[in-house]
Amino acid sequence: MTASNNLTHEGAPTMAGATYNFAYLDEQTKRMIRRAILKAIAIPGYQVPFASREMPMPYGWGTGGVQVTASIIGPDDVLKVIDQGADDTTNAVSIRAFFQKVANVAVTTRTHEATIIQTRHRIPETPLKSGQVLVYQVPIPEPLRFLEPRETETRTMHALEEYGLMHVKLYEDIARHGYIAKTYAYPVKVEDRYVMDPSPIPKFDNPKMHMSEALQLFGAGREKRIYAIPPHTKVVSLDFEDHPFEVQKFSEPCAICGSRGIYLDEVILDDRGGHMFVCSDTDFCEEQRNEH
Amino acid sequence: MYVAVKGGEAAISNAHRLLADRRRGDRDVPDLRIDQIAEQLSVGVDRVMAEGSLYDKELAALAIKQARGDLIEAIFLVRAYRTTLPRFGYTQPIDTEDMLVERRVSATYKDLPGGQLLGPTFDYTHRLLDPELAHDKQVDKPVTREGEHEKVVRVSSILAQEGLIEADGEMPEGRVPGDITRDPMEFPMERDTRLQALARGDEGFLLALAYSTQRGYGMNHPFVGEVRIGEVELEFEVPEIDFAIPLGTVQVTECQMVNKFKGSAKVPPQFTRGYGLVFGQSERKAMAMALCDRALRAGELGEDRTAPAQDEEFVISHADNVQATGFVEHLKLPHYVDFQAELELVRKMRAEQAKAASDAFDLAAE
Amino acid sequence: MNIDDDAPLLTVNGVGKRYGNRIGCADVSFDLWPGEVLAIVGESGSGKTTLLNCLSTRLEPDAGSICYRTRGGEMRDVYQMREAERRFLMRTDWGFVHQNPADGLRMTVSAGANVGERLMAVGERHYGDIRGKAIDWLGRVEIASDRVDDQPRAFSGGMRQRLQIARNLVTHPRLVFMDEPTGGLDVSVQARLLDLLRSLVAELGLSAIVVTHDLAVARLISHRMMVMKDGRVIEHGLTDRVLDDPHAPYTQLLVSSILQV
């Protein structure tokens, strides 16, 4: 999936040699990242350390996802980028424009047309198909980080499958609130082995990860970790038998397309508390409107 | 109305256009030239080279111009460019003893072979604003010493002759120096990779940590064995031919800190060391780095690790200002999907609490 | 129970640990039998805590071997086990009661979660059951069930220590290590705790190794005792025999000094 047509970065330094490779990263780096991705796919849910590079966007703004996308994208790919479910949020626009510039690839807002979908905080409502890759931007890849700050300790906990502490946290929630008060970045167990952070997607999206037909790749640039869920992999949200995992339910339909059973954004209409709920997934909303 | 709440391509492009305008400022003021920055803001350029980990004054100066003088932003630009460059190999270790020294001071000896050379330093200047600098002030030519270039022996070598200081660090058998820009960092680290991380660490962060060791949080009783600034030659060994090829020179600042001694019934006491080395002229950074290096060796030297500066994971994980600024500033990005989820939860909890309160009221009223 | 009562639970052979030139403990050998409580007594610096840490796999000895009979009946050298096996043992079959309860508890989670953690660590996933067992165990250590959601920070010293004991016993371990379990408590609180410990140990058929500097504690709780001085065991026998008829001059001194007070 590589091409080596050197593109000149518009507005780049005028000194000799200041040009960029296809999809920004040099081929050595892409090979290194692809090796990490292959290892991640081979051990679903395991965080593979990789030598994350500086990217032209800041850490915390999707550098992990961008590096993963840059390493797998080819000239024939069709790219979709979403942030908060929408194609037109600023960061999504910026990342899409980046790949148009450095890889000159086709882009789309249509979920079903895309071969690679890079996302921050959502999984599209339209079910993904075989052959598609969903690339998540991940801020904190370690699900145990808030229970144990030390990397040396958390790696040992994963190695020895010591996940009792994670359930202590869930137990405390139920004892205090009567239910598990975790609404996003809700931890999952992958293939009965590794506890994994699904990135800050709402827990509403967790079930979409389970047995997905698409390949799911997770990139954390600042924390230098890549992990993966291969297609048709078991992904279970942590819970108790008598307090099973549940997703958010919205009482109203989307005010624009009328859909139910999807994730909604609350839009404030005025300063007197007026609001309405609309689809978080803008492409899905548009498709629903076109159908009716 | 709905579209207005989402950002758009037009908004971004307008914002960038405004940024370009603000960067340029008043068009009646002449445009700043790269050579002006490189020549007259050279310490800032050096910092961008050091923390950007790329020795190129011209690119660093360009980055400062593009970043409107924001040095961390400039460092970021340089790093993002550097990471795309192909890697041909590694030069031979530089020999700082063979440095063409411009400044060299020692706090441990009044005088020593090679002498004390003050060089271009702010030390001993009175910090009085100079109104004449508001205009193009005439500046005298510097006085220079004539003579052949000679090696200037390092203070650590002088102390080492009597065995008074620990020897230069030896790499463990079979270990090749790590490269933090190519391999993922793993804790605990070896000293070679840790020094790399410190060398590109944020000057302000390392300065504060170094300062904290002086104030009792991980005290290590430092003396500046020496600080030296100057040009060193870079040599590259090509496998096909049997000798190293000189590539040119770079300016570096090196600090050898002499720290509290250590000994036991068997081993006679010896001073320990902390080491700092950075691109360009930056004594503050080199000294802070040396203090942090020494503090981080606490475990290796059998000292208690109680202070933040002695905690490798804490120091190294937070020293990189490009990572730090990115993650702090990412809080500006929209988080409304997560916020929506929290909003629903808080509403639910409030509703439950209100219901419990009204049930209790009803019960009391019965 | 499937415990083979005719074989020792723990066999310790020639265990030693040095700190540089100084001896931590040296040449310690003994067997511990199922249901038996062994007290290790001595002054501070005598090596008893070093020995306890070696036995409980918290500090690797540099001489000797420590073998434990697993539930499967197999005799295993605890330092030859893989770390995963050892950690599993420590959170199921073994317990460790620290002198300072804060070292053995999670101070920022509720009492219920403190007791439930070991159950969750071995895979229990029914919240109601876990909570029920936690409340049951709080009752057995005389903590009222309405304190189940309180954090140990809000507990008195004696309550914290009892909570630590409950947290250790919930998985029905076969061997519990205790390091000065009554140290730092008021005399009246000590007596109540000892009483509780003694009845729990008897009721559950636990084996225990208790380190204490207090001969009265040893007399109340242990069947056998070892006296340590300068890292070595200088006397070893049934508790009543050692206290009533001490053979070693040092033990005689220790016993007489206590009894005179």
Interface membership of A60 toward B (CB under 8 Å): yes
Any domain includes B138: no
Question: Which of B31-40, B95-104, C179-188 bottoms out in mean pLDDT, i.e. has the lowest?
Answer: C179-188
CA distance A184 to chain B (A): 6
Rounded Cα distance between A208 and C150, Å, is 37
Pair (B72, B112) in one structural domain: no
Pair (B101, B69) in one structural domain: no
Q: A-chain residues within 8 Å CB-CB of C120?
A: 164, 167-168, 171
Residues near C9 by beta carbon (within 8 Å), at least 6 away in sequence: C3, C32, C33, C34, C36, C68, C69, C174, C175, C207
Kindly report, residue by residue over B235-263, the tens digit of the pLDDT.
Answer: 998 888 888 899 999 999 999 999 987 77
Pair (B191, B304) in one structural domain: yes
Q: How high is the pLDDT of residue B170?
A: 80
Q: A-chain residues within 8 Å CB-CB of C113?
A: 168, 171-172, 175
Q: A-chain residues within 8 Å CB-CB of C131?
A: 171, 175
pLDDT exceeds cutoff 70 at A16: no
Kindly report, residue by residue over C36-78, the tens digit of the pLDDT.
Answer: 999 999 988 899 999 999 999 999 999 999 999 999 899 999 9
pLDDT band for C261, please (50, 70, 90 cuts). Answer: very low
Pair (B228, B283) in one structural domain: yes
Pair (B23, B100) in one structural domain: no
Q: How high is the pLDDT of residue C159?
A: 95
CA A284 → CA A124, A288, C62, distances in Å?
8, 6, 66
Interface membership of C149 toward A (CB under 8 Å): yes
Sheet-wide strand order for C63-69:
C22-32, C10-19, C63-69, C75-77
Would you call A221 a catalytic residue per the annotation?
Answer: no
Q: How high is the pLDDT of residue B267?
A: 75
| Domain extent for B223 | 96-119+150-166+184-325
Name the CA radius of gyration of chain B, rounded.
27
Pair (B154, B302) in one structural domain: yes
The verdict on whether omega for the bond into residue B188 sits within 30 degrees of 0, i.e. cis, is yes
pLDDT exceeds cutoff 70 at C3: no
Task: Please identify among residues 187-216 of chain A the ones whose CB lies closer than 8 Å to any CB of chain B.
Answer: 200-204
Show which subunits contact A, needing at least 3 CB pairs below 8 angstroms.
B, C
Total domains in the fold of chain B: 2
Q: What percentage of residues in chain C have a pLDDT greater than 90? A: 81
Closest-CA residue of chain B to A12: B81
Interface membership of C138 toward A (CB under 8 Å): no
Pair (B312, B194) in one structural domain: yes
Half-sphere exposure (Cβ direction) of A214: Cα atoms closer than 13 Å: 23
Rounded Cα distance between C191 and C186, Å, is 9
Any domain includes B39: yes
Q: What is the mean pLDDT of residues B31-60?
A: 97
pLDDT exceeds cutoff 80 at B169: no
Q: How high is the pLDDT of residue A8?
A: 38
Rounded Cα distance between A18 and A15, Å, is 6
Contact A234, A242 (CB under 8 A): no
Any domain includes B171: no
Top pLDDT among B299 and A231 is at: A231
Would you call A74 a catalytic residue per the annotation?
Answer: no
CB pairs under 8 A between A and C: 56
Interface membership of B326 toward A (CB under 8 Å): yes
Interface membership of C152 toward A (CB under 8 Å): no
Q: Which one from A45, A62, A65, A221 is the annotated catalytic residue? A: A45
Kindly report, residue by residue over B303-344, the tens digit of the pLDDT.
Answer: 888 899 999 999 999 999 999 999 999 999 888 888 989 998
Pair (B114, B70) in one structural domain: no
Q: What is the mean pLDDT of residues B113-117?
A: 87
Any domain includes B205: yes
Pair (B105, B224) in one structural domain: yes
Q: Which of A156, A153, A151, A161 is nearest to A223 (CA)?
A: A151
How far, in whole angstroms, is CA B85 from its chain's centroid? 21
Kindly report, residue by residue over A69-115, the tens digit of the pLDDT.
Answer: 999 999 999 999 999 999 998 889 999 999 999 999 999 999 999 99
Closest-CA residue of chain A to C151: A172
Closest-CA residue of chain B to A139: B327
Q: A-chain residues within 8 Å CB-CB of B59?
A: 13, 15
Interface membership of B12 toward A (CB under 8 Å): yes
Kindly report, residue by residue over C124-169, the tens digit of the pLDDT.
Answer: 999 999 999 999 999 999 999 999 999 999 999 999 999 999 999 9
Pair (B39, B100) in one structural domain: no
Any domain includes B294: yes
Domain end among B25, B57, B82: B82
Any domain includes B75: yes
Judge: A88–B326 Cβ closer than 8 Å, yes or no: no
Would you call A257 a catalytic residue per the annotation?
Answer: yes
Judge: A265–B340 Cβ closer than 8 Å, yes or no: yes
Kindly report, residue by residue over C156-213, the tens digit of the pLDDT.
Answer: 999 999 999 999 999 999 999 999 999 878 888 888 899 999 999 999 999 999 999 9
Any domain includes B354: no
Q: What is the mean pLDDT of residues A127-131?
A: 97
Pair (B203, B260) in one structural domain: yes
Judge: A88–B349 Cβ closer than 8 Å, yes or no: no
Kindly report, residue by residue over C92-110, the tens digit of the pLDDT.
Answer: 999 999 999 999 999 889 9
Q: How high is the pLDDT of residue C63?
A: 95
Rounded Cα distance between A80 and B336, Å, is 20
Any domain includes B281: yes
Rounded Cα distance between B145 and B353, Å, is 82
pLDDT band for C260, please (50, 70, 90 cuts). Answer: very low
| C41: enclosing H helix or E strand | strand C37-41
Exposed (0-12), middle (13-18) or buried (19+): which is A249, by Cβ within 10 Å?
A: exposed
Closest-CA residue of chain A to B65: A13
pLDDT exceeds cutoff 60 at A282: yes
Q: What is the mean pLDDT of residues B66-78?
A: 97
CA B149 → CA B102, B119, B157, B217, B230, distances in Å?
11, 16, 19, 42, 12
Pair (B311, B230) in one structural domain: yes
Domains of chain C: 1-93+173-261 (3.40.50.300), 100-172 (no CATH)
Q: Interhelix angle for C187-204 vs C157-169, to 10°?
A: 10
How far, in whole angstroms, is CA B242 from its chain's centroid? 35
